[in-house]
Structure 1
């Protein structure tokens, strides 16, 4: 087996505000010591107040971007984010099939923090059928888990039930995110066929949560790309995101970004 070099190919949309999407992904992988390469699926017009425009990238260009990276630089993990529609999901599934030995972290992005749809409802079945079985790790929040399973997800036990359903759909592992579940603490549950690991911490009451899902998934992908065991990759990612939220710079009038660069403060 080749030595893990920390290379992550990110297949996702661009966020002009820099808080989520490709921009958050690159920052996260870089800050955790990995190497980020990209295949951009869409250009969005957005800031902390919401998404006001989406320009999909042609399918052949998305596939060509990924192929250019895989054929030359290579990848130790692939992370998928905003895909948009059925055709893009099918294209990404084909890309993943061309790199079967590379673990894929699938973040089933459906709705932006401001409420804009980032995945056509008609594409949910395609994600269920084509991406979940190809996922080394699936990272849904509660609303995404509800859409993918048809189950109500209101409690931590509901997270577990939905996680079991997603494992049955073919995911090797599922990180069920509990940020939308009410409570004084936030509980995420990493589930595999061998059992579960729980990550729990204080709930940070803040409007600066834009990009948390993208950031967490990319941090997990960076860990896998560096050769970390899955629970260790998730634990490091979880700690990174928690601190990035705590140190959020307070930018924008809406859902503000995290501080992806917080580990540099000691260097500065």
Structure 2
């Protein structure tokens, strides 16, 4: 019998499985730029040592500047992708990104409900590019009703979460993180991670990111503000949290590690096209100094540093 067909003893198979990376199933859009969506999830989870199981929910037509349109997949096709994988592979966590339509949200929520013990990280992107008001509203209504009750942590920018969780907010004062967490809890969500906050009493050179429950803030990290715009940051952050939870970290630790990872990925970000900067999820895999630097020669980064408008390191 050839080695390729030699049966694996059960005890060896158990050892092999125990050494395999943890698996995280992610429902998200196909993004051909590689900035966000499933492309971003796959790269991020791989960088965190997890194996991504990507389920396509919709296909975005976009470049690195903006989203123009989407081509929806049939909700049954989305479910069939997930159930086929779930019958074969054990997952430890999952992530929900952009699902495309209210109908797909309902179908995905039904799959999620069959695995109530698997922690879910839900990312809420900015969907202002959707021109159809009815489509925009029905999507958010379905997400609030069907996905939030199953969500361990909801991730989003402060403005986006405010519009989603507190659409009737009329005060001149922006809602606090705790108020957002209370609003999310009314739909069944246990925690919120609010990004893009400006710390009180600080100059406009830092951003704060706070994990909170209805009882108040749990953890947070402040970082220097980048003087450039990014695409894919939210997907990177949420995917890394899901991967870190899957590896066994508790939520506050996973959030702290994910925020530090995102900051470094943005710091090493690059601009592949004419639009926004993309996070480099594999910044840690690059050598600190290349051969030219060791030889004392001017490197591309040296030449860029004099002309780059950003005070932080972005390629």
- Flag whether TM exceeds 0.5 (same fold): yes
Do 2:205 and 2:225's aligned partners in 1 also have CA atoms closer than 8 Å? yes
Structure 1 residue ranges, 4+ long, deviating more than 6 angstroms after superposition: 152-156
Q: Which moved more, 1:67-76 or 1:24-33?
A: 67-76
Listed as ranges, the gaps of 5+ residues in structure 2 are 1-16, 291-315
Alignment of 1:128-147 (within 5 A): 128-146=144-162, 147=164
Cα 1:6/1:63, change in 2 over 3 Å: same
Counterpart-to-counterpart distance in 2, 1:141 and 1:236: 18
2:87 is paired with a residue whose SS is helix
Do 2:181 and 2:192's aligned partners in 1 also have CA atoms closer than 8 Å? yes
Cα 1:179/1:194, change in 2 over 3 Å: closer
Q: Higher Cα Rg: structure 1 or 2?
A: 2
Aligned counterpart in structure 1 of residue 61 of structure 2, from 15, 22, 45: 45
Deviations 1:164-221 (Å, cap 9, x if unpaired)?
22123211111111258893211111012564212211111112x1000111000000
Q: Which residue of structure 2 aligns with residue 95 of structure 1?
A: 111
* Offset at residue 152 of structure 1 (A): 6.2
1:176 is paired with a residue whose SS is strand
Q: State whether structure 2 residue 168 is matched by structure 1 residue 148.
A: no
Do 1:136 and 1:172's aligned partners in 2 also have CA atoms closer than 8 Å? yes
Q: State whether structure 2 residue 36 is matched by structure 1 residue 20.
A: yes
Do 2:48 and 2:240's aligned partners in 1 also have CA atoms closer than 8 Å? yes
- Cα RMSD between the aligned structures? 2.5
Q: State whether structure 2 residue 91 is matched by structure 1 residue 69.
A: no
Name the count of aligned residue pairs: 263
Q: Which moved more, 1:189-198 or 1:65-74?
A: 189-198
Alignment of 1:54-65 (within 5 A): 54-65=70-81
Alignment of 1:1-268 (within 5 A): 5-111=21-127, 116-117=129-130, 120-146=136-162, 147-150=164-167, 151=169, 158-178=176-196, 183-193=204-214, 195=216, 196-207=218-229, 209-266=230-287
Counterpart-to-counterpart distance in 1, 2:173 and 2:34: 31
Counterpart-to-counterpart distance in 1, 2:236 and 2:198: 16
Do 2:156 and 2:195's aligned partners in 1 also have CA atoms closer than 8 Å? yes
Cα 1:36/1:216, change in 2 over 3 Å: same
1:171 is paired with a residue whose SS is coil
Counterpart-to-counterpart distance in 2, 1:9 and 1:257: 23
Normalised TM-score (structure 1): 0.89
Counterpart-to-counterpart distance in 2, 1:189 and 1:154: 21
Do 1:220 and 1:237's aligned partners in 2 also have CA atoms closer than 8 Å? yes
Cα 1:137/1:74, change in 2 over 3 Å: same
2:253 is paired with a residue whose SS is helix
Deviations 1:61-118 (Å, cap 9, x if unpaired)?
100111112111121101000112211111111011011111010112342xxx5239
Listed as ranges, the gaps of 5+ residues in structure 1 are none
Cα 1:35/1:246, change in 2 over 3 Å: same
Counterpart-to-counterpart distance in 2, 1:216 and 1:246: 14
